[in-house]
Structure 1
Amino acid sequence: MEASTEQLIRAAIAEDVGSGDLTATYFVPAESTARARIAAREPGVVAGMEVALRVFQEIDPRILVTPLMQDGAAFFPGDVLLEISGPTRGILTAERTALNFLQRLSGVATQARRYVEAVKPHAVQIWDTRKTTPGWRLLEKAAVKAGGGTNHRMGLYDHVMVKDNHLAAHGTLAELQSAIDRVRAERPGTRIQLEADNLEQVAGFLTLRGVDMLLLDNMGAERLREAVALNAGRLWLEASGGITLETIRDIAATGVNAISVGALTHSARALDLGLDFM
């Protein structure tokens, strides 16, 4: 597990537990033990199992957690995701934090699965974006993968994406080519992507050397088909901008290689999961 995820788990526990769980301390005998399980109350796709397990162990190493599903598995109401046994106080103290992670991440995985299923049978990837919860990016992007989606760039450091605001400051084709050449010389292997808002930009960008991808932003299905024809298989094409479950099938049919959807993360709903004592 990444160090940043460990830190996030500890911060979440500190936020909830603070100086101690008053209710468990005063109303649950110290020697009490229990068995419990986390079960689904609606259908979905599981993600975040390792994080939930780590929360219980961080609260009390004596707690035994047995996952019954792996990330990426589909579940239905009544299905048990994991079983827990050990000190009752610890189970109760960890309950909410573990569920917060599991519910949120399973919601992201479920949202990703919906979009992945919606584009079948077209051979197009569903990409996530940087529109993630601050501090949760690694976890939410892992949840997207659990749902069948594909991770786009992790951050500003691993992929060049020249968007409209960058172009406003440095936008002639000659200036772009000079900057692309510098990236290729100083950071070989880095992917370079340019954002195009119209077909004129697409045509211009196709004259540049060293570009890997184009992002086709807020183009309708007809314009996307024209862009795909203009590209003629030279660069990887990503469609983006306000794409929903209702419109994504038409976008997938245009022949683009990937569709990025911010809603995979920024609009995913936490699923209804519950911890019950057995």
Structure 2
Amino acid sequence: MTHLITAAQLAHEIEEVVVLDVRWALTTANTPAGREDYDAGHVPGAFFVDLDRELAAPAGEGGRHPLPDPAVVEALLRRAGITEHSRVVVYDAKESYAAARAWWVLRWVGVSDVRVLDGGYAAWVSAGLPISTEEPLDRHGDIVVRAGQLPTLDATAAAALARDGVLLDARAVERYAGETEPIDPVPGHVPGAVNSPTTEWVTADGTFRRDLAEHWAQVRAGREGPVGVYCGSGVTAAHHVLALAELGVDAVLYPGSWSEWIRDPRRPVATGRTPG
């Protein structure tokens, strides 16, 4: 089963699904990122989702984007009228980085039928489909979430997986290598982790590349064992989990990611462009 949906498919099913707009940018994390874009135009009937406030808890010991309070996610789902049996489509501006976080969080709390609009809002607009500036009314749903429906890694499990399996670091190679670190106070990577930049899993138009299997084979390079993924704060790593799910690979997210790993100075840090 694919976890993706095209703009044309969404247009055909628009009356049968709940649509969530998760446009977001890391550089505007202290404001309702994406809200202005949503107000300017969105897929008709879509509900706006604030990633920083509804798909993550406040920054702290768990990193910059810890897993959200289930009650907050429940309130979001109820606002959109989502039940555990609803068919849900999520999208962001283009590359599906933020949408993948929504896809993961909703499945984590028990919503099983969630798909991502491949190519995001850009694909919808490019297809010449209608847009709206009207915000739907609160649907007052009554869903009860069940957090923990997907497995996660903590720092200890991530370290073990880097030794005994395949732990992917989804950040840009310069950050992985410790050559630059524009966000977190400590540069480098989890020792043994394999760099796999998120940007390399999508094409120029923001859609997932069609040769995902071949790309995965190159990234994995013959390594065996279970697969886990982390990034800076657990957002773009979910994009890897989504891409691998398309291939039938059950990758596990390390939600705290690098921003949580470095909070304990006893944890080792590696630098350089090889797993180390």
Structure 1 length-normalised TM: 0.24
The structure where strand makes up a greater share of residues is: 1
From the CA coordinates, give the structure whose radius of gyration is larger: 1
